Amino acid sequence: MDLAIIIPAQVTNKYHRLGDLAPFGDTTLLEWKISQCKEFASNFQIYINSTSEDIAEIARKENVNFILRGNEDNYSDILINVLNSVTQKQILWTNPTSPFIGYQDYTSMINTFYSSSNNDSLVSVSSKNDYIYYKNKRLNFGMQFSNRNELDIIQIVTNGCYIIEKKLAISQGSLYGELPYLYDLDYLSSVEIKDVHIYQLSKELISSYFKRDLNV
């Protein structure tokens, strides 16, 4: 695979004072994610992107690449500068805040991306049957009562995994193509740490993650 695995990481965010170095099991969220990626990719394919010297030291310890993030304020500029630092032609972008996307998920998403001729990218999503309002208007249901299983399914981006051609991502300044394959994750894999409450819950779900993988 001519594929680069990019893991952005920082030492502070809204869910923990240590950011992606927050404790997770007997390690940190970042090191947990690196270990997951090493199950399907070689060390030279993995790139950690950060402004932190502490995170750079972890990259050196793990024998993976480190890309120093610049001072760009615009997301597209950050993305383009990172992608210009890798040599591979395809990009898999994943986040430490999605700790339950593991080997099985990644290999399935990679195989799906490479085998799809109708899609220019892949985005991980979580599908839901729920009553949705948007700007105070009903989005997927009418006045007449409907069971949830009769509703149009909505698909929510999990921010867990994006796969795209590097050239396309640079030209668009985005990890989304015009025709993405929306890859549906199960509930556990779709968990994204977005606040302190989900972080605490995620630590309780570690045993479920290992039990699930043993039963695959």
What total number of domains does the chain contain? 1
Residue 110 placed within a domain: yes
Residue 74 placed within a domain: yes
Residue 131 placed within a domain: no
Residue 14 placed within a domain: yes
Sort 141 into a burial class: Cβ within 10 Å, 0-12 / 13-18 / 19+: middle
Residue 134 placed within a domain: no
Length, in residues, of the chain = 216
b/e sequence 25-52, b meaning 16+ C-beta within 10 Å:
eeebbbbbbbebbbebbeeebbbbbbeb
Q: What is the predicted pLDDT for the residue at 170? A: 96
Output Rg (C-alpha) for the chain, integer angstroms.
18
Residue 28 near residue 9, CB atoms below 8 Å: no
Q: Tell me the whole-structure pTM to 2 decimals.
A: 0.92
Strands 154-165 and 23-24: unpaired
Q: Which residues constitute the domain of residue 165? A: 3-123+158-215
pLDDT in tens, 119-146: 999 999 999 888 889 899 988 888 887 7
Strand-pair partners of 104? none
Q: 73 or 190, which is more confident? A: 190
Helix (H, G, I), strand (E, B) or coil at 105: helix
Residue 190 near residue 160, CB atoms below 8 Å: yes
Given pLDDT bands bounded at 50, 70 and 90, which one contains residue 215? Answer: low
